[in-house]
Amino acid sequence: DTEVTQTPKHLVMGMTNKKSLKCEQHMGHRAMYWYKQKAKKPPELMFVYSYEKLSINESVPSRFSPECPNSSLLNLHLHALQPEDSALYLCASSQVLRGGGNTGELFFGEGSRLTVL
Amino acid sequence: AQSVSQHNHHVILSEAASLELGCNYSYGGTVNLFWYVQYPGQHLQLLLKYFSGDPLVKGIKGFEAEFIKSKFSFNLRKPSVQWSDTAEYFCAVSNEKLTFGTGTRLTIIP
Q: Where are the beta strands (DSSP E) in chain A?
A: 4-7, 10-13, 18-25, 31-37, 44-50, 53-57, 64-70, 73-79, 87-94, 107-108, 112-116
Supply the mean pLDDT for chain B: 93
pLDDT reported for residue A2: 74
Contact residues, chain A, for B92 at CB < 8 Å: 104
Q: How confident is the model at residue A100 (pLDDT cuts 50, 70, 90)?
A: low
A16 min Cα distance to partner chain B (Å): 29
A52 min Cα distance to partner chain B (Å): 17
Q: How confident is the model at residue B30 (pLDDT cuts 50, 70, 90)?
A: confident
- Burial, A109: exposed, middle or buried (Cβ in 10 Å; 0-12, 13-18, 19+)? buried
A112 min Cα distance to partner chain B (Å): 11
Mutation target vs A (from B44, B51, B67, B90; most A CBs, 10 A cutoff):
B44
pLDDT reported for residue B1: 73
Look at chain B and count its residues: 110
pLDDT, tens digit, 9 for 90 and up, residues A25-74: 999 999 999 999 998 899 999 999 999 999 999 999 999 999 999 999 99
Q: How confident is the model at residue B97 (pLDDT cuts 50, 70, 90)?
A: confident
Tell me how far apart the alpha carbons of residues A84 and B102 are, in angstroms, rounded to a whole number: 19
pLDDT reported for residue A55: 92
Residue B75: how many other CB atoms lie within 10 Å:
18
pLDDT reported for residue A96: 85
Residue B60: how many other CB atoms lie within 10 Å:
10
Contact residues, chain B, for A101 at CB < 8 Å: 96
Percent pLDDT > 70 in chain B is 99
More confident residue, A17 or B12: B12
A4 contacts B32? CB cut-off 8 A: no
Put simply, whether B107 touches A (Cβ < 8 Å) is: no
Helix (H) or strand (E) holding B105: strand B104-109
B96 contacts A101? CB cut-off 8 A: yes
What integer is the mean pLDDT of A93-113? 85
Lowest mean pLDDT among A27-41, A95-109, B41-55, B93-107: A95-109
CA nearest to B46, candidates B62, B61, B35, B55: B35
Mutation target vs A (from B98, B99, B102, B105; most A CBs, 10 A cutoff):
B98
